[in-house]
């Protein structure tokens, strides 16, 4: 895991530079942690991982996670335990990351998969839920949250 984390630092720095915002050590550390994970991580998961390499307090980790959501690099998924879990947006892990989305299009209109055994949540970037729902007058969709449950490849 340590190697994976260190290998993601240049990618994290590039993605942060692309936002035009300041590239700080906590931002690089938190983003590199998310980049090195294949599943969604809670604030505490990220803080524990970051603590292996840096002395960054939990409040700072939380602020950085919020900030990453704000600049559309990451998104949050509500867990069954009411704990937010954070995951990179699909485009952020590819090259040319951090493109600014000026409008408020749902940034994670893709499905999620939660494993019943290990409880981990994964993004299914290629599963775009087609919503053909006619909302009542005056209602507006800001987020589509489709969750599939089952067993992941590790727990099958």
Residues in touch with Zn ion (CB under 5 A) = 87, 108, 115, 117-118, 123, 152, 154-155
State in angstroms the smallest separation of the CB of 137 from Zn ion: 30
Give min distance, CB of 62 to Zn ion, in A: 19
Q: Please tell me the total number of residues recorded for the chain in this structure.
A: 156
Strands of the sheet containing 41-42, edge to edge, are 41-42, 84-88, 74-78
Minimum distance of Zn ion from residue 118's CB (angstroms) = 3
**Least distance in Å: CB of 149 to Zn ion?**
11
When the beta carbons of 27 and 108 are compared against Zn ion, the nearer one is 108
Closest to Zn ion by CB, 34 vs 56, is 34
54: region left, alpha or beta (phi > 0 left; psi from -120 to 50 alpha): beta
Residue 132 neighbours by CB under 8 Å, 6+ apart: none
Q: How far is the CB of 86 from Zn ion (least distance, A)?
A: 9
Residue with Cβ nearer Zn ion (71 or 87):
87
Nearer to Zn ion, 33 or 60 (CB): 33
64 vs 123, beta carbon nearer Zn ion: 123
């Amino acid at each position: 895991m340590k190697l994976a984390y260190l290998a993601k630092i240049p990618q994290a720095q590039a993605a942060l530079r692309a936002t035009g915002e300041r590239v700080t050590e906590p931002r690089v550390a938190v983003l590199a942690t998310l980049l090195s994970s294949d599943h969604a991580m809670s604030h505490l998961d990220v803080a524990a991982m970051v603590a292996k390499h840096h002395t960054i307090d939990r409040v700072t980790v939380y602020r950085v996670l919020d900030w990453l959501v704000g600049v559309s690099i990451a998104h949050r998924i509500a867990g069954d335990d009411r704990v937010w879990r954070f995951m990179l947006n699909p485009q952020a892990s590819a090259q040319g990351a951090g493109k600014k989305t000026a409008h408020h299009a749902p940034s994670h209109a893709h499905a999620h998969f939660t494993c019943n055994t290990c409880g981990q949540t994964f993004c299914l970037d290629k599963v775009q839920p087609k919503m053909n729902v006619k909302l009542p007058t005056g209602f507006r969709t800001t987020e589509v949250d489709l969750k599939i449950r089952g067993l992941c490849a590790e727990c099958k």
